[in-house]
Amino acid sequence: MSLLTNVMDHSLDDGYAEAAARKEAAGEGGLPKTLRAKLGLAAGLVLAALVVTVGAAQARVAAPVVAKEREELIDRIDQETEAADKLEDSVDQLRDDVSARQRAALRDSGGSDRAELVGILSGATEVTGPGVKLVVDDAKEATTGGDGDPRETSGFSDTGRVRDRDMQRVVNGLWASGAEAVSINGQRLTALSAIRAAGDAILVDNKPLVPPYTVLAVGDGKRLSTRFQDSADGLYLHALQENYGIRTAISVEDDLRLPAAPSVIVRTAQPRTEKGTS
């Protein structure tokens, strides 16, 4: 208690107290004593106040200019966005026109049955019929936050996210099981379609998809479902569900409608002729 009392009674160190006493005795402490020093202090205070006042006035004058420039920038962004939307609509219209011409060329290329088969296999025509509906979705922990943030890690077991390679196996498994036409989230797949990843997003022909991923496959529904679930790719999907919480659901459908591919590349091939043969 004596130590605390001493600290409270002598809050200023003795050395500091002695120094303050010497300055006060020498006339060095406190406000300036001479008129010149007082005038200098007053001039300094006036200069500081002038700088602050001028800065505030300039800021007030510049505020409307900054606001006007901001509004002009926003208007430019809106105009460019509108122009980009118009160009995108024009591109979509041109793609539809090209697809229509390609389908017409396929119909006029030969017999109706052969042309129809070529159109279905190439994805150039719309397809309807029975088949299976397969829904693949991220694990619940991945979509609701869970224990780990899927954006902070790339390990599949840490995120529970469906990857592009998983959808590749699903689609290939359906093709191998007898599917005649396949689409993912309304995006028709062809022999030239690519399933890739860009960060955490899955791209099909450079178009991003959002989970859940709904895969429609036209074919013999019951047979297609059984063959897929018994295949290596179906067992792989089941393992994802059991080990990582990936949610899946498959059902046999009586009537599915798959749109035509938005853009089909028409290619031709010629048989190779060996030298020395007629």
In the prediction, which pLDDT does 168 show?
Answer: 94
In the prediction, which pLDDT does 130 show?
Answer: 94
In the prediction, which pLDDT does 13 show?
Answer: 65
In the prediction, which pLDDT does 16 show?
Answer: 67
Between CA 109 and CA 120 the distance in angstroms is 14
- Rounded to a whole number, what is the distance in angstroms from the first to the last CA of the chain? 118
In the prediction, which pLDDT does 148 show?
Answer: 43
Between CA 169 and CA 190 the distance in angstroms is 15
In the prediction, which pLDDT does 174 show?
Answer: 95
User: What count of Cα atoms within 13 Å lies in the side-chain half-sphere of residue 261?
Assistant: 23
- Report residues of the chain scoring pLDDT below 50: 144-157, 277-278
In the prediction, which pLDDT does 220 show?
Answer: 92
